[in-house]
Amino acid sequence: MLIFGGYGQVGEAMVATAAAAGRDPSSVVQLGRQQADIADPEAVQRVLAELQPRVAVNCAVFQPVDRCESEPEAAFAVNAVAVGALAQACRKAGVRLVHLSTDYVFGCALRRPYREDDLPAPQNVYAASKLAGEHLVLAASEMHMVVRTSGVYGKAREGHGTTPFIERMLERARAGQQTRVVADQVISPTNAHDLARGIWDLIGCGGTGTFHLANRGEVSWFELAVVVFEAVGARQLLRPTTAAEYGAAAKRPAYTALENARLCRLGLEDLPPWRDGLARHFAAYHPDLAPSA
Ligand SMILES: NC(=O)c1ccc[n+]([C@@H]2O[C@H](COP(=O)([O-])OP(=O)(O)OC[C@H]3O[C@@H](n4cnc5c(N)ncnc54)[C@H](OP(=O)(O)O)[C@@H]3O)[C@@H](O)[C@H]2O)c1
């Protein structure tokens, strides 16, 4: 297996969970942006020819979400055009591509967890670029797979990837900083290791097309932050706010919880509830925190 954007939180989690999934971790090759920029078709073709993987996982992404609003061309260049070229290169090389996408492809239509066959309605440039990437992946080959997930937290390699919301909240709570978090946006926060285990399962059973993989249940960003601040004993520092008041550059959907409907229909094990995922994240990376999560 070859992982593009391999040193981010999901890429690292794929390696960390390989043995538990019955795979040899040494058969997983991680490539950072410096070794293979997915926006460089020659680099992509070269690594596919050299390494001859059976499966490629694309974790490379142009983000954060707000930056995409001011750099739409760059967002579409990586999240759509480069992803489409990667999907075509994989098809030509006989490699199955697993591409990561996002709950943000959905709009504000529903108040129950979105299933794979619900209609996307992107609300910002990031979401639109990711949805375009999904279409290009699925158009390239019936063998490819798109995995949508939500609010991922894990541990990227030092110097790579993004710092997840949970870790940013922990830093603020520990530093004693007053913090406002939006209470009118609901997601399904997902432990990167649980996500990775789901990806291994889907690869193992030959899944194709679009799948949702998120920890079960739903929570607002504010309620999620409450769990973190309470664990540090700093609940008094946290205040709820609204998306309108917060005024982020990118408009975000009010509700994007996901249901892993197709995973369950295949008879595969559903992902654990989000509180369980968060408790294991704390136990693994912050064992000093109270186990109340
Ligand atoms: N994080 C979330 O909350 C969340 C939610 C829903 C969906 N997802 C999806 O999950 C996937 C993985 O996200 P993540 O949280 O693991 O991201 P991440 O930690 O930020 O990792 C992404 C990696 O992509 C690499 N990268 C960026 N541009 C690249 C390029 N042009 N070529 C090759 N590599 C490139 C970065 O490398 P460098 O560090 O070397 O720059 C980074 O390590 C993405 O598709 C994202 O849309 C994430």
- Tell how far the Cα of 58 is from the centroid of ligand 1, in angstroms: 9
Q: Is 7 a catalytic residue?
A: no
- Quick one: pLDDT at residue 290? 59
pTM recorded for the entire structure: 0.97
Residue 207 structural domain:
2-163+189-215
| Domain contains 293 | no
**Total structural domains in the chain?**
1
| Domain contains 241 | no
| Domain contains 258 | no
DSSP string, 134-160: HHHHHHH-TT-EEEEE-SEE--PPTTS
Residue nearest to atom 29 of ligand 1 (CA): 60
Cis peptide, bond prior to residue 189, ω within 30 of zero? no
- Tell how far the Cα of 267 is from the centroid of ligand 1, in angstroms: 29
Residue to substitute in 29, 59, 281 for testing ligand 1 pocket (most ligand atoms within 8 angstroms of CB): 59
| Domain contains 269 | no
| Domain contains 226 | no
Residue nearest to atom 7 of ligand 1 (CA): 102
How far apart CA 251 and CA 215 sit, in angstroms, is 24
pLDDT tens, position by position, for the chain (293 residues)? Answer: 999 999 999 999 999 999 999 999 999 999 999 999 999 999 999 999 999 999 999 999 999 999 999 999 999 999 999 999 999 999 999 999 999 999 999 997 889 999 999 999 999 999 999 999 999 999 999 999 999 999 999 999 999 998 999 999 999 999 999 999 999 999 999 999 999 999 999 999 999 999 999 999 999 999 999 999 999 999 999 999 999 999 999 999 999 999 999 999 999 999 999 999 999 999 999 999 855 54
Residue nearest to atom 32 of ligand 1 (CA): 37
Q: What is the CATH number of the domain that holds 50?
A: 3.40.50.720
Residue to substitute in 76, 103, 152 for testing ligand 1 pocket (most ligand atoms within 8 angstroms of CB): 152
| Domain contains 96 | yes
Nearest atom in ligand 1 to the alpha carbon of residue 99 is 45
Residue nearest to atom 8 of ligand 1 (CA): 102
- Quick one: pLDDT at residue 291? 53
How far apart CA 212 and CA 185 sit, in angstroms, is 19
From 211, 60, 215, select the one nearest 148 (Cα to Cα): 211
| Domain contains 77 | yes
Amino acid at 89: A
- Quick one: pLDDT at residue 293? 46
Contact between residue 186 and residue 220 where contact means Cβ atoms under 8 Å apart? yes
Out of 7, 104, 126, 153, which one is annotated catalytic? 126
- Tell how far the Cα of 100 is from the centroid of ligand 1, in angstroms: 9
| Domain contains 155 | yes
What are the pocket residues of ligand 1 if the criterion is a CB atom closer than 6 Å to any ligand atom?
4-5, 7-10, 32-33, 37-39, 59-62, 78, 100, 102-103, 130, 149-152, 156, 160-162
Residue keyed to tokens 């109340």 = 292
Helix boundaries (H) for 52-164: 65-70, 72-76, 83-93, 125-140
Residue to substitute in 12, 47, 57, 61 for testing ligand 1 pocket (most ligand atoms within 8 angstroms of CB): 61
